[in-house]
Amino acid sequence: MNHEYFMKIAIEEAKKCLFLDEVPVGAIIVKDGKIIARAHNLRETLRDATAHAEILAINEACMALGGWRLLDCTMYVTLEPCPMCAGALVNSRIKTLIFGTRDPKGGACGSLYNIVADERLNHRIEIIEGVLQDECSKLLKEFFKSKRKKD
């Protein structure tokens, strides 16, 4: 599977955030080489604390598959998931998580925690990190830089 191909689509999702003044994070879910869900962060737009890209993508993928188990699915997400999203990935039984860049302040898949690899929980997820890292990281850095200029 071509991880860069799918991560580029997650980045395209993240870029949609820029028109909405949302922190640019995009996520897609792939099964058998097909994209079954794509989403971007909509916390401000939906006025909902849970509306991270990953949660919205999981909701969409569950709907697409008609059940809550995302067996044999892969999530591509531009930023390392937070505790909420990492926990949601475990709850969904997703197989693989591929993320672009780490979040040292809030990441829960290797930075502050590694929830998706915790042997004590009832499911473990394979992690691949650093796919198109520079592009994913630059998108976030430029967003926060332009925010600081505006404030």
**Annotated binding-site residue? 40:** no
3-class SS string, the chain: CCHHHHHHHHHHHHHHHHHHCCCCCEEEEEECCEEEEEEECCHHHHCCCCCCHHHHHHHHHHHHHCCCCCCCEEEEEEECCCHHHHHHHHHHCCCEEEEEECCCCCCCECCCCEHHHCCCCCCCCEEEECCCHHHHHHHHHHHHHHHHHHC
Nearer to its own copies, 69 or 138 (CB): 69
Nearer to its own copies, 118 or 135 (CB): 118
- What is the closest distance, in whole angstroms, from the C-beta atom of residue 91 to its own copies in the complex? 5
The footprint of its own copies on residues 20-79 (CB under 8 A) is 43-44, 46-52, 55, 58-59, 62-63, 66-70
Residues binding its own copies: number (CB under 8 A) = 40
**Annotated binding-site residue? 82:** yes
- Catalytic status, residue 12: no
Binding mask 86-105 for its own copies (x = CB under 8 A): xxx-xxxx-----------x
Which residue ranges make up the site for its own copies (CB under 8 A)?
Answer: 43-44, 46-52, 55, 58-59, 62-63, 66-70, 82-88, 90-93, 105-106, 108, 112-113, 115, 118, 120-122
